[in-house]
Structure 1
């Protein structure tokens, strides 16, 4: 099934779920068998619906869950490729999806309504990524009965990029440099931004406040997220662009990530998200998924993303190929 058809199926499935309370979704797209993930008697035949958002990385992460739990013996249903963070979240809160990967920064800012990211606490030996995860985990459990678990090292934070040519011409390497260039010559800092980034508090409005940018003076063009990368690489339509930091098109197009030197952007580490009742009923799920999450570094996920967005592979093929190469599952 093509990605566009999968998206339509997911959207229709979600409408059915909302209207009728049915447990729906499609079958897992590719067969897998046990590898280092072996059948788990407690999960044999257990119905589990897996969801994801509607971009490359989210779909890959969703399929990693599906293949892992299928190899463990669960009866997995596919409800990946749901449009937007809020739709995925609503589906989880209403029991239409049992498990998905989501991002700690999205949980903290968007779902929990916090205005500022967690910063490293003095004297705390844990990284700020761990502290952000723990703050999100504790607050979401207390407020919404949602469990966050098995955080991955990958950090898909928002970022601004520019082409290598523009970076060399302007000397812009940090977001402070970008702010200074914009103040001096707005036309030299024309920026393409995605629709969500343009309005989210952890997007351009918050970035502008943190770096003293006048939003009215900033020359922004709102485009589809997928178009930002090439437009910025060409440096014709825009000279800077908003991106997700683990996107495979960044290295493929030789884009330069600007350093967030004031630490504005939250950490967006991927982690499993489940309702409390599901997590308590099936603790084996986290045991199975934790070793997978631990392997998901920025380098790993960026390469998987690149295979989809640059090489044209399907996300389910990329996810299964990686799991087979890691010995986690067999091709079935």
Structure 2
């Protein structure tokens, strides 16, 4: 894939990353310095606020994003809250420490000369604490820029989206570009704050003792940031974009979901005047997307019948493991006001795969008998879901030599590198073909069907009936073999999901 051809995509991510980082940094600076001053003057609040900030800082950032979803949903609001929380500790600490280290004799001398408390703070405390505050601010800038990369997991955009999309589609170019972009932002942000810190230039500007070089250093660096910010705002919200008709399309963090998300988005864009907002690669999949659909943060996404039945509705499978789609759709509409537009035509169910060198193993039972010779690897979700490993070992007596948990998109690399020799698969995975894997037969029919279908909010279906008609026309048009081929084009041939979707739709309409 030519990265230059996707320059618009990267410019959009750059703008999102800059605005999100700068917005949270501004809030952290104001709130953090204010809190640092407050806890310095209030011993009682210090005993509560500082331990609380320390405690929040110990919570893994990725977990914090997830914990806030039930409260504020996904997207910008969630990301801002998390970034502000994590940015507070260094700036509050540095402000408090800087004020605390001010020599007491200077304060007493100023008070002895009749200075008020405000004057003492303005002329003694703040100037002497400023180097410590700026030092904390430099740490905060780098931290926020880096953490903003994780915001892509909850649909907040930014350069992290390129990294996660690269991981999900096995595209090294996207990973490198996203990583370099974040690194560049962090370095520039650190250098920007450093201009204020050098030779206490900010203090000199405030006290009007700065020379022309010091003034210019701060003015030009700040002007550059201001210009970049306005450019990002304009790029994100051009004056010509006054279209109130919008639909937000979401996807889970897999190649298949990126492709299907693009097929849905391009179908809408090519045939209507509705603007599509893409929220692709949302971490946690159904766990985070379904609540966001209910809250109205998202409007459309592709779900799988087995996941919906077992993990959303939490129902037991019928004896034949065949899910009644009419019942599923009716329950979704009554319980969630969400509508299934039909089934796309492919079944992406779970499977287990090994190397074709193991000629004497052809099904799950035979693998179970020899499982002590195998190291089994799967994504975190597989070991957690009731319809996956926990239930599987109740049917088949697996006793693997070792279990390896990893990101869903890294398990095939682990297999290729020999770190695991048995792996869970989805039947449409491109890597089955690429690695020439042997997919074993589920001889006791444990795994149900996972038929893909488009889900839309009832409100959106009623508001845009033309969209329901367009997307319903996709029903039955993607076979399991076709979906595997589309995934192969993205993951192995390194085509972009947008390009693959575009070609698919072109051939579909011809």
TM over 0.5: yes
Q: Could you tell me how far apart the structure 2 residues matched to 1:276 and 1:119 are?
A: 31
* Shift of residue 113, structure 1, vs aligned partner: 1.5
Provide the residue aligned with 2:317 in structure 1. 117
* Shift of residue 119, structure 1, vs aligned partner: 4.4
Verify: 1:16 aligned to 2:79, yes or no. Answer: no
Of 444, 458, 477, the match for 1:276: 458
For residues 157-176 of structure 1, what are the structure 2 equivalents within 5 Å?
Answer: 157-165=349-357, 167-168=358-359, 171-176=360-365
Contact 2:79 2:156 in 1 (8 A): no
Deviations 1:95-133 (A, max 9, x none): 01111111111111111112x434449xxxxxx3xx443
* Shift of residue 257, structure 1, vs aligned partner: 0.9
Contact 2:363 2:441 in 1 (8 A): yes
| TM-score in terms of structure 2 length | 0.52
Deviations 1:147-199 (A, max 9, x none): 1122122111111111111x31xx111111111222xxx1x122111111011
For residues 9-48 of structure 1, what are the structure 2 equivalents within 5 Å?
Answer: 14-16=74-76, 46-48=245-247
Provide the residue aligned with 1:192 in structure 2. 377
User: Greater relative contact order (Cα 8 A, min sep 6): structure 1 or 2?
Assistant: 1
Q: Could you tell me how far apart the structure 1 residues matched to 2:488 and 2:380 are?
A: 22
Q: Secondary structure at the match of 1:326?
A: helix
Q: Could you tell me how far apart the structure 2 residues matched to 1:25 and 1:132 are?
A: 35
Larger Rg: 2
Provide the residue aligned with 1:223 in structure 2. 406
Contact 1:195 1:224 in 2 (8 A): yes
Verify: 1:54 aligned to 2:246, yes or no. Answer: no
Q: Could you tell me how far apart the structure 2 residues matched to 1:197 and 1:153 are?
A: 24
Q: Could you tell me how far apart the structure 1 residues matched to 2:408 and 2:79 are?
A: 30
Give the structure with the larger helix fraction: 2
Q: Could you tell me how far apart the structure 2 residues matched to 1:98 and 1:225 are?
A: 25
Q: Could you tell me how far apart the structure 2 residues matched to 1:181 and 1:19 are?
A: 47
* Shift of residue 218, structure 1, vs aligned partner: 5.5
* Shift of residue 17, structure 1, vs aligned partner: 5.3
* Shift of residue 221, structure 1, vs aligned partner: 1.0
Verify: 1:75 aligned to 2:264, yes or no. Answer: no
Q: Structure 1 residues 19 and 250, CA, compared in 2 at 3 Å: closer, same or farther?
A: closer
In the TM superposition, structure 1's runs of 4+ consecutive aligned residues that sit over 6 Å from their partners are none
Q: Could you tell me how far apart the structure 1 residues matched to 2:420 and 2:314 are?
A: 31
| TM-score in terms of structure 1 length | 0.78
Q: Structure 1 residues 277 and 119, CA, compared in 2 at 3 Å: closer, same or farther?
A: farther
Larger mean Cα displacement after TM superposition, 131-140 or 300-309: 131-140
Verify: 1:213 aligned to 2:398, yes or no. Answer: yes
Contact 2:383 2:390 in 1 (8 A): yes
Contact 1:50 1:79 in 2 (8 A): yes
Q: Secondary structure at the match of 1:50?
A: strand
Verify: 1:180 aligned to 2:362, yes or no. Answer: no
For residues 117-136 of structure 1, what are the structure 2 equivalents within 5 Å?
Answer: 117-120=317-320, 128=322, 131-136=323-328
Contact 2:412 2:431 in 1 (8 A): yes
Q: Could you tell me how far apart the structure 1 residues matched to 2:461 and 2:307 are?
A: 20
How many residues in Structure 1 have an aligned counterpart in Structure 2? 285
Verify: 1:146 aligned to 2:347, yes or no. Answer: no
Larger mean Cα displacement after TM superposition, 173-182 or 301-310: 173-182
Contact 2:75 2:156 in 1 (8 A): no
Q: Could you tell me how far apart the structure 2 residues matched to 1:19 and 1:221 are?
A: 30
Q: Could you tell me how far apart the structure 2 residues matched to 1:138 and 1:252 are?
A: 39
Of 269, 288, 292, the match for 1:87: 288
Q: Structure 1 residues 233 and 133, CA, compared in 2 at 3 Å: closer, same or farther?
A: farther
* Shift of residue 139, structure 1, vs aligned partner: 2.3
Gaps of 5+ in 2: 1-8, 21-72, 81-154, 158-242
Provide the residue aligned with 1:29 in structure 2. none
* Shift of residue 277, structure 1, vs aligned partner: 2.2
Larger mean Cα displacement after TM superposition, 205-214 or 243-252: 205-214
Q: Could you tell me how far apart the structure 1 residues matched to 2:352 and 2:447 are?
A: 11
Deviations 1:21-78 (A, max 9, x none): xxx988xxxxxxxxxxxxxxxxx97321111111110111111110001112122221
Q: Could you tell me how far apart the structure 2 residues matched to 1:312 and 1:93 are?
A: 34
Gaps of 5+ in 1: 27-43, 122-127
